[in-house]
Amino acid sequence: MPTNSTPCVLALGDSLTAGYGLPTRASFAAKLEQALRNRHPGATVHNAGVSGDTTADALRRLPRVLSGLACKPDLAIVELGANDLLRGVAPARTRANLADILGTLTSCGIATFLTSFEVPPFLRAHAPSYDGMYADLTARHGADHAPFFPPGVMGHPRLTLPDGLHPNARAIELVVAHLLPAIISALGRQPAPLT
């Protein structure tokens, strides 16, 4: 359990973090904040998700995001990479961008939590390029790691918006319940030094 009774969390990501197609109160950041407040009434989660963002986009805006925060994050949740895959960004570039994001956060004394994503069936041919990428990055940067979606949620017809891709409000609730124990555990750890 974190000793901080009012943890501040940064959620940096793409449409999954931003809450594409959902009311603000149903976004990942809002639901995570609500869940954290059940344990820590003063907890805050800053939603720094931008729909369509690639890892390069998020890396470019990270300094502005950090300078605009009202509190220094105790933890940064990084949810990125799916748009890189969809746009055909070279996996080596995605890896380098994620490494730079994690390195920037760590150098600021912010603990990091990296979420991975499941490659959609229609892009499985590209899956080998992503195998092990997230686990390796977390090991190198002392970050915590977990898949964003619990098994069976991604692409489930009752858990997606009409586009068949983005999660609906119920899916986001399942994501938060899935990630919450690991996030609480990560909040209790100090950021690891760069290796």
pLDDT score of 126:
65
Determine which one of 46, 141, 145, 166 is catalytic.
166
Q: Is 163 a catalytic residue?
A: yes
Q: Is 15 a catalytic residue?
A: yes
- Residue 125 forms beta bridges with which residues? none
CA-nearest of 90, 85, 88, 87 to 116 is 85
Token pair 């998700």 is found at 49
Q: Which residues of the chain have pLDDT under 50?
A: 1-3, 194-195
pLDDT score of 60:
98
Q: Count of CB atoms within 10 A of residue 10's CB?
A: 27
Q: Which residues contact 109 (CB under 8 A, 6 or more apart)?
A: 72, 191
pLDDT score of 67:
96
Task: Report the distance separating Cα 167 and Cα 162, nearest Å.
Answer: 9
Helices 28-37 and 169-187 sit at what angle, rounded to 10 degrees?
A: 50
Determine which one of 15, 27, 53, 74 is catalytic.
15
Q: Is 129 a catalytic residue?
A: no
- Degrees (nearest 5) of the Cα angle 98, 91, 28? 50
Task: Write out the two tokens for 97.
Answer: 């961008």
pLDDT score of 2:
39
For strands 75-79 and 44-49, give the pairing.
unpaired
Helix (H) / strand (E) element for 92: namely helix 91-107
Q: pTM for the whole thing?
A: 0.91
